[in-house]
Amino acid sequence: MSALRGSRAALTRCTPFVRSARANAAEARRLLFRCAACNEPRFLRAALRTISPERVELAPTLVEVERARERFQYGYLPDTIEQLLRETLDCYSLGAHNAFATMCRRTTRAALRGLGSTAKTRWQDALLEMLRLCEVDDVTTSTVDTVLFGDDGDPPAVTPDEAAVLVEALKDLFYQSYVRTAKLRTAMKMRRLFADESLGKITPIDRGEGWRELA
């Protein structure tokens, strides 16, 4: 998951240790880490506690000031769905979690309209199975399901933790329905094409005297 969850243990420092404290005091306040869970960069700010010629000591509380944009293989999506999903993921990247939840429902509805009458049931089943495999608690599961597939009213407010689950679930649903489906269709078409072209063109091996099959 891409949320910080308040733990420094889940982050790996990307920038080198600041050796010249006085010359780089301002730089020391702006840190770049890499999330150990999603491998994305995280830009953080920390208060300076002490500065000496040999060492810079930072406060243990880190504040996230900027987040990298979420990635997705948009080229497999219809134009309208692509625009909606981009804006949805941008809301998450900006930390606007409730706006993100609202856009999740709108984008999901737009996608389901183009995927057929049974798409909603299939997506709901896939979502519940996904969250079960990830051992997501019942409360978060209910919130995510309501955000994506609720029929009436506005989506419920979401916490940062619930938004982190929601973004991964949303991306997986769109990946399975658009990206994976397109790739699988292409691979299947190529396999069948090569199979038809090679049919009847294989030269049999002449098994004459002295030939024996290897175990």
CB 31 within 8 A of CB 13: yes
SS3 194: helix
Tell me 23's DSSP state.
Answer: T
| pLDDT for position 7 | 39
Q: Are 49 and 41 in contact (CB under 8 A)?
A: no
DSSP state of 175: I
Helix (H, G, I), strand (E, B) or coil at 77: coil
| Model pLDDT, residue 3 | 41
pLDDT of amino acid 1: 41
CB-side neighbour CA atoms (13 Å) of 38? 17
Blockwise average pLDDT, block size 10, the chain, 215 residues:
41 43 50 68 76 79 75 94 96 93 97 93 96 95 96 90 95 95 90 74 61 56
Buried-state track 23-32, b at ≥16 Cβ within 10 A, e below 16: eeeeebbebe
pLDDT at 214: 55
Amino acid type, 3: A
Written as one letter, the residue type at 207 is R
